[in-house]
Amino acid sequence: MNRFCYVHIYSHNTLIAGFFRRSIQKQIEYRCLRDGKCLVIRLNRNRCQFCRFKKCLSVGMSRDSVRYGRVPKRPREVASTESMPDLARNLSTSGIVPLPDMEAMDPESLRQGVAQELIKLVTTAHRSNNTYTEELRCTLQLNTLVLKVDDSDNEGSGGEEAASSTTDRVTDARSVLWFNVALRMTPAVQQVVEFAKRLPGFHTLPQDDQLILIKLGFFEVWLTRVTRLSTAECIVFDDGTTLSVQQLEIVYDPAFTRAMLAYVRTMLKINSTEEEIAIYTGSLLLCPHRAGLSDTERIDSLNRALGDALQQAVVASGRDVVGRWEAFASAAAEVRALGIRHHQLLAWCREHWPRLVLPALFSEMFDIPKAEEEDSAEGGSSSGQPSVL
């Protein structure tokens, strides 16, 4: 990993968003109609500029860091370890984890130091934005709620009466299960979005690339987190809801169900630490091989930095380093294949969307059409651009 990579890992902490910069430069005074208590996410960020500006400050953006006028770009060749102490100071003053003293480090020590700090940063982001935890697994009662497809559970059928034909009954059953799956998966969407936004270097990427990485990587991260609670026979959500093999086969298909539960077994066998799972899922998100990416070079640098961090986390686990490293590499290939197939299987939802009841954020994440009145109610943009960020 070259020195240029180190600079880009932490440079997002010194970049000022356009909104924040304009607010400071023009000395704009905002007001909130809800006493400064608005929830600011991608879906509604333009509704209250006061709370949006307040959130900028709360995440560490500094008024004093705003530069007036255009900042000239430095050539990549100029970046060196000499600039790392300044970046470290900017990082530490933002309230995140301070970097070690890098001025006296040799290249290998510098690489290890960056990897160690990445482990701390990414693990903190993971713990703050993940409900599928080991602590929950120890207290959660499996099969607390088993989804049943019967005449009384028809929330996902869009209110339509069950048809008499076998095909319609299967479609209705599938709609009911999709409603329940989407309802319980949706809270994880915002968690993964927030996790991605806190990955070092993520905000240095073009916004279109950020969107692609989240939309195509979400299922892989979610399924990996789910393995913490699930078994080789069922998928368990963080509220205790259980999906059996038979129900998974209705939602997806038998082949995908087998592959999905095989991945659960893979991750259970690895028995990863919290640090390992945090870095591993971060590397799944920062995958440079997603279709449509523009800045693959920078994403690849960030991904390799996370690879170094995962190696250190594996070493720190005190177990078979080579075997565990190979196991994680194999698991990553396994879940990426599942992610591709999952996107294909969602074609059923895109085809039958009028009879489905799905949360808007879930539909947006997986490009499932919504009724026009839902779009207008959500304040969707006229450009049609997704807004999961």
Q: For the segment 281-291, what is each residue's pLDDT rounded down to a tens digit? A: 999 999 999 99
Confidence class for position 142, pLDDT limits 50, 70, 90: low
Q: What pLDDT was estimated at residue 43?
A: 58
Largest CA distance in the chain: 76
d(CA 153, CA 174): 12
Q: How confident is the prediction for the chain on average, in pLDDT?
A: 77
* Phi-psi region at 333: left, alpha or beta (left = phi > 0; alpha = psi -120 to 50): alpha
Contact of 40 with 52, CB cutoff 8 Å: yes
Q: What pLDDT was estimated at residue 157?
A: 45
Contact of 229 with 136, CB cutoff 8 Å: yes
Q: What pLDDT was estimated at residue 92?
A: 33
For 340-388, what is each residue's pLDDT tens digit? 999 999 999 999 998 899 999 999 999 999 765 444 444 444 334 445 5
**Is pTM, for the whole model, over 0.75?**
no
Contact of 220 with 335, CB cutoff 8 Å: yes
Residue that the structure tokens 């953006």 belong to: 61
Confidence class for position 108, pLDDT limits 50, 70, 90: low
| Domains of the chain by start residue, with CATH | 3-97 (3.30.50.10), 126-378 (1.10.565.10)
Higher pLDDT, 60 or 365: 365
Residue type, 66: V
What's the rounded mean pLDDT across residues 220-235? 95
For 1-33, what is each residue's pLDDT tens digit? 443 343 333 333 333 357 777 777 777 888 887
Residue type, 11: S
